[in-house]
Chain A
Amino acid sequence: MAGQPRYPTIEIYKEVCIRCGACDPACPEDVMRIGADGYPFAKYTEDCQACFLCEWDCPVNAIKISVHKWWEEDQPAA
């Protein structure tokens, strides 16, 4: 939808996460924080640049970053 914020989506699968903490220092944009329960959460999703560094550094594939194809809507009619 044009005009809507279309940030990347950050999914963290708690059932898979082993609470190793690697995704926080993996993120160049300071998006991730480790909560009191030891699980990470995306605190600043609006600054996620969809670079996948956290996803790749997670040892157990507990993170999934998704991008939106909003640019297709902004193209001149093909």
Chain B
Amino acid sequence: MAEKIVHHQADVLIIGGGAAGAMAAIRAKECGADVLLADKSVFGASGCAALASGAYITYMPGDDLAFHLAGRGVLVNQTQAIKAIYATYDVLKILDGWGVRFVKENGEIWRGKGFSGAAASGGLAAGLVGGGTAMMKVVRKEALRRGVRVLNRTPITDLLTSDGRLPTAGQVIGAIGFSGREEEIHVCQAKSVVMCAGGFNFGYKRPGQNFAGMPLDITSDGVAMQLRAGAVMGNMAVGSKYLQSMEFCCAPGIEHFTTMGTGWVNKDGVDVMRRFGESEAEFTRRLSLGHAVALEMLEGRSVYLDGSQLTPDKVRLLWNVIPIIMQTFENAGYEITRDRIPYIPVNAATYGSSHGGGAVVNEKLETSLPGLFAAGASSDGMNISPNLNLSWCMVLGWWAGEHAAKYAQSASLRDAMPEQVGDLSRKALKYLNGDRLTFNDVHGKAAQALIDLGVITSDEKLTLARNTLLDLLAVYDKVKAKDRHDLVKVVGLRNSLEALTVILQYLLHRQESRGSVINSDHPETDNQNWLTLTKSKLEPDGKIKLWDDPIPRETFYVHYKPKPGMSMHPFFKVVGRQVDAPK
């Protein structure tokens, strides 16, 4: 190998510099650790965080806690969720102190109710001026100012372990990656490692597509690396299949237009959300929007964003907090108050940013593997929500940085086993000498398999898709990377496929329809049998074991009665317990 091996040592290694990673790095540094952050792309410009719209979902003193909790659905850990809800405001104050600009009204932080954000949850969101893009620039500056060391354009490919094995029976002692530009392998030794490489996503668009709605560098790497290392994973089924607009930032963003005087209409001008009987004038939840779009599509109609009622003030606000989408509209020649802008549904399973599945972590953000912490969308986020968006990922990162730094104080650096370094470097670089398959060959077939899952899926379709992906993985060694840029993509796509096969396994396991998963074989949302957290682990024999754990639900704070004509969610009937929210 002509590759140069570059060795690094740090107290804490952070993998990925998005919302969670940036905060973890800063906090670990504050706690006295020497911190190295490796990013596949460019720290501060990469990941979902830098493309995110500026909806910072946050609690503020005086808020009704039950309101913040209610939107999260029933599959969450209430105790941890409450802690995280309060912490969003602590992190907001920290960001404000660093100079991150929030939309303010008379000097006070403004919040919009329309910023419902994520998949299942509603919430009140402050507006980041310049979106996640501007925020991440400030956060990066803070990290660099404090002396966080950064490796850019260096995708980490696998975790290094004390026993030299994946899956490991030992502990995590660092990670290995390669440079996307130079002929270099990077071996990073660390006393503790924090996985912040973002969520599940079937990365990269098909040839001919424009914006895919998710950053192309997010390819489930964190999820796949932790899977291979044998970490206990959780929640991978929920929110993994989704309808979204591929052109205009499907991720939290486009639905923020609602409540500002916009709506979603079909070609006849009919408000599509009404069909779901929800009060969408108050909230457009992504889930119901997805369902409404699905229904219209099945009936052969397309859906449009109607911004004709937007006032100039509101248009200005949108430019402030959703700049990428507004720029895209303008660039494409649309005038938001004049033109109906099409919502284009994309294939299944490109959804990842707010996906709440990943390595199961405890309240110290420790995974099941000693030495490995996880935060943000690579973790299950302590199961605080079915989806993890910007503010929650930042909170989780902040906590992870602190605990990883504490852990490092009593841990020591371990040398990586030369055989493991050799094996993993060969594994990463082998595609440079691949055979005849190209990235586009594999990507195209996988994309088609996901499209074939359809809006309404079934066990048969799920099995078929899974088999197609397994077949592709079986021949994956034949893929040839044209150059190092292509190598980054090829390695990423492999991670996407590995994560996807497991997600499909989860979807087959949970015999119900829930959230964005609509399965014609199991039409019920089955709260009798599936109020559980599905978990998995890669066993040494190469098989994935799946099981279900109960969700701790000791404290479920509800203090309101259903409004006239409304009924309580089935969960309350199941739990049969109502208590007052704490003051």
Contacts and interface: CB of A to CB of B under 8 A. Distances in A.
A76 B211 CA distance: 20
A72 B334 CA distance: 12
A52 B42 CA distance: 15
Given A51-B324, A52-B327, A28 B45 contact: yes
Contact of A28 (B41, B212, B342): B41
Contacts, number: 96
B422 interface: no
Given A25-B152, A51-B324, A3 B331 contact: no
B50 to A, nearest CB: 6
A27 B153 CA distance: 11
Given A28-B217, A29-B216, A78-B302, A53 B208 contact: no
B306 to A, nearest CB: 13
Nearest to A74: B344
A52 B328 CA distance: 9
A15 B212 CA distance: 32
A24 to B, nearest CB: 9
B325 to A, nearest CB: 10
A53 B302 contact: no
A75 B293 CA distance: 13
A71 B46 contact: no
Contact of B210 (A4, A29, A67): A67
Interface in A1-59: 3-8, 25-30, 43-44, 46-47, 49-53, 56
Nearest to B486: A44
B267 A30 contact: no
Given A25-B45, A28-B42, A66-B331, A47 B216 contact: yes
Interface string B316-335: 00000001100110011100
A67 B328 contact: yes
A50 B332 CA distance: 11
A67 B302 CA distance: 20
Interface string B277-313: 0000000000000000000000011100000000000
Size class of A's contact patch? 20 to 34
B304 to A, nearest CB: 8
Contacts of B327: 52
Nearest to A68: B210
Interface in B238-265: 246-247
Interface string B26-63: 00000000000000011001110011000000000000
A23 B41 CA distance: 14
Nearest to A43: B485
B205 interface: yes
A65 B324 CA distance: 12
A70 B153 CA distance: 31
Contacts of B324: 51-52
A30 B180 contact: yes
A72 to B, nearest CB: 6
Interface string B117-155: 000000000000000010000000000000000001100
A33 to B, nearest CB: 9
Contacts of B217: 28-29
B215 interface: yes
A70 B152 CA distance: 34
Contacts of A30: 41, 153, 180, 485, 488
A76 B51 contact: no
Contacts of B331: 50, 52, 65-67
B207 interface: yes
B208 A3 contact: yes
Contacts of B45: 25-28, 53
Nearest to B344: A71
Contacts of B215: 28-29, 49, 51
A28 B46 contact: yes
Contacts of A66: 331
A53 B208 CA distance: 21
A29 to B, nearest CB: 5
Contacts of A70: 208, 210
Nearest to B42: A25
Contacts of B208: 3-7, 70
A75 B212 contact: no
A52 B485 CA distance: 20
Contacts of A49: 205, 210-212, 215-216
A68 B210 CA distance: 8
Contacts of B344: 71, 74-75
Contacts of A47: 204, 216, 485, 489
A39 B463 CA distance: 50
A26 B302 CA distance: 35
A58 to B, nearest CB: 13
Given A5-B208, A28-B41, A28-B50, A76 B488 contact: no
Contacts of B323: 52
Nearest to B180: A30
B538 to A, nearest CB: 30
Nearest to A65: B331
Contacts of B210: 6-8, 49-50, 67-68, 70-71
A65 B50 CA distance: 18
A16 B30 CA distance: 42
B99 to A, nearest CB: 18
Interface of A: 3-8, 25-30, 43-44, 46-47, 49-53, 56, 65-72, 74-76, 78
Given A69-B333, A78-B302, 9 more contacts: A3-B208, A7-B210, A29-B217, A46-B207, A47-B485, A49-B210, A50-B211, A52-B328, A75-B342
21 contacts: A5-B208, A28-B41, A28-B45, A28-B51, A29-B217, A44-B485, A47-B216, A50-B210, A52-B331, A53-B50, A53-B133, A65-B331, A66-B331, A67-B210, A67-B247, A69-B332, A70-B208, A71-B247, A74-B344, A75-B302, A76-B301
Question: When A and B form their complex, which 9 residue pairs have the shortest distance between CB atoms, in order from nearest?
Answer: A5-B208, A28-B46, A28-B41, A75-B302, A71-B344, A78-B267, A50-B211, A28-B45, A5-B207
